[in-house]
Amino acid sequence: MEIAKEAVAGGADWIEIGTPLIKSEGMNAIRTMRKAFPDRTILADMKTVDTGAMEVEMAAKAGADVAIVLGSADDSTILDALRSAHKYGVRLMADLISAPDPVKRAVELEALGVDYINVHVGIDQQMIGKDPVSILMEISEKVGVQLAVAGGLDSESAAQAVRAGARIVIVGGNITRSDNVTEAAKKIRKSVDSPESVDIRDRGTVDQEIREIFKEVSTSNISDAMHRKGAMKGIHPLVRGKMVGPAVTVQCFPGDWAKTVEAIDLAKPGDVIVIYNESKDIACWGGLATLSSLNKGIAGVVIEGAVRDIDEVENLGLPIYTSNTVPNAGDPKGFGEINAEITCGSQAVKPGDYIIGDESGVVVVPKERAYELARRAKEVNKEEKRLFDEIRRGGTLSEILKLKKWEKI
């Protein structure tokens, strides 16, 4: 309710009752919003896939103005939902989320007579890099029905969507998870009203985007996004500083530091050197290797094993995370391997996996899921910012999360 009030204050015309809220609170969520916002359009995101008439009737009687049916539902469901919508005086929006051929289906849905088509890329699909604006461009050339758009929109993509023909812009997380909902809604409102005035930033390469996000979020956010996995055990910050980069891995042996130092020459600027050395009692890293790494532009070092020259490495400032410190080193003999899969801090690390370190410790993100997990960690981060804001306003964490209600039974 609070978020809805703040979004309306920022210029939102419609209020969408999202599917998770409907699943949690049922039609009462719609009733409550209807009463609180009599002059706003209430959109019930029912995502109906069967029994179209019954679900539209429920939403209509609870006070919705528009109900959403899945575009990929059978034509019989869409047609019966439409009959019900006409009977109860509400409008029907068909949502193209996960439609195998959204352009073809949009043409069919228009012919079936829906009031709106929502070009929608779902939250999970956004996490793997899909966005709705390119599909919208194609669809708006083929249909005349009013188009809505949804899927991770922010003030830039909202402007792009309006330029591409959207009449209704549905924004979720970038408003509801913002730490200032009214300001976030105002920003979107401005983009929707004057799309031509919005500058579209170049987001850079996927690798740049991944690094940017990992720099912004915490290792705790990332571990949450990984369902509590990914954290190295027994590895702690020695020289403090945020560290992000793909791994160059080193497997070396007690008393031998040749491979650790040779890895510096192989690593590229921005890489993180991740070392497993069985011995916690003989250092395989020290001040000279640290200076050499700084010259090379290495982002940081993780060592399961031992580091020495602590005064020097602290002065040099390169982020180092390790399991132990000792004064004594071994010798350069040359056993071991560079860029083979290793285990460090009880986590498997492949060359190229993303390694992120901060005050809480180190997490490993498999390279194949780096983009997705960066995006999911960003969502966790936004959610936490919102929770901080709610706690600052005086709530307790357990009240805000409704812990008692959601205890497992």
Ligand X SMILES: O=C(CO)[C@H](O)[C@H](O)COP(=O)(O)O
Residues near ligand X (CB under 6 A) are 16, 18-19, 45, 122-123, 150-153, 170-174
Q: 120 - beta bridge partners?
A: 150
Q: How far is the CB of 236 from ligand X (least distance, A)?
A: 36
- Closest CB to ligand X among 119 and 238? 119
Give the three-state DSSP class for 89: coil
Q: How far is the CB of 189 from ligand X (least distance, A)?
A: 15
- Closest CB to ligand X among 155 and 322? 155
- Closest CB to ligand X among 180 and 339? 180
Give the three-state DSSP class for 237: strand
Q: How far is the CB of 243 from ligand X (least distance, A)?
A: 30
- Closest CB to ligand X among 119 and 302? 119
Mark residue 329 as left, alpha or beta (left: phi above 0; alpha: psi -120 to 50; beta: remaining).
Answer: beta
Spatial distance between the Cα atoms of 62 and 388, rounded to a whole number of angstroms: 33
> Residue ranges of the alpha helices (H) in 302-396?
310-316, 370-392
Nearest one of 188, 313, 336 to 262, comparing CA atoms: 336
Q: How far is the CB of 170 from ligand X (least distance, A)?
A: 5
Q: What is the DSSP letter of 393?
A: T
- Closest CB to ligand X among 169 and 306? 169
Residue nearest to ligand X (CB): 172
Spatial distance between the Cα atoms of 82 and 187, rounded to a whole number of angstroms: 35
Q: How far is the CB of 333 from ligand X (least distance, A)?
A: 55
Q: Which residues contact 214 (CB under 8 A, 6 or more apart)?
A: 222, 244, 354, 356, 365, 374, 377
CA angle 210, 317, 232 (to 5 degrees): 50
Q: How far is the CB of 107 from ligand X (least distance, A)?
A: 22
Q: How far is the CB of 257 from ligand X (least distance, A)?
A: 49
Chain center to CA of 259: 37
- Closest CB to ligand X among 173 and 345? 173
- Closest CB to ligand X among 109 and 121? 121
Angle between helices 206-216 and 370-392 (to 10 degrees): 30
- Answer whether 200's CB lies under 8 Å from 355's CB: no
